[in-house]
Amino acid sequence: MRGYRVLLTWEAIYDVTDIAEYIEETFGEERADRFTNDIEQEIEKLGYTGAALPRTQFFYRGYSIHKKPYPPSIIFYILLEERGEIHVLRVLREEQEQMHVFGADQEYTYPRDSGYSK
């Protein structure tokens, strides 16, 4: 099985932080820490399972956006086969309006140390 390098956008990082803060406020710090650790592991697994997961009807820069449900959230990413990379674009709560988030003019940003260049 081929492994892909997994990169996260700033938007995905902020999404996970926001969800963890909500969980902490609602259910406590221990539950939020468990969510953060678990979702980090799920994102890492995309390097091996990402190509097999379903696509959405959304596109980013000509790439189909895939999704991986991880309640209470969904991980959205693109697969760049030619580069051997998976780019996690967003991690949204299930009830968020996805059509609005994945508008045609959306641009995603990457941490400097990610090694990604357009």
9: helix, coil or strand? coil
What's 43's domain CATH number? 3.30.2310.20
Within-domain flag for 118: no
The percentage of residues in the chain with a pLDDT greater than 70, rounded to a whole number, is: 84
- pLDDT 10s digits, 18-75: 999 999 999 999 999 999 999 999 999 999 998 888 888 888 888 899 999 988 889 9
Tally of domains within the chain: 1
What are the structure tokens assigned to 15, written together? 């999404």
Within-domain flag for 47: yes
Within-domain flag for 46: yes
Within-domain flag for 43: yes
Q: Where are the alpha helices (DSSP H) in the chain?
A: 10-27, 29-49, 98-101
- pLDDT 10s digits, 83-101: 999 999 999 987 666 666 7
Within-domain flag for 111: no
pLDDT of 104 above 60: no
Within-domain flag for 92: yes
Within-domain flag for 13: yes
The pTM of the full predicted model, rounded to 2 decimals, is 0.83
Residues 77, 89: contact at Cβ < 8 Å? Answer: yes
The residue behind tokens 């956006």 is 65
Q: What is the DSSP letter of 53?
A: S
Domain that holds residue 54: 5-106
pLDDT of residue 111: 85
The pLDDT-based confidence of 14 (bands split at 50, 70, 90) is: very high
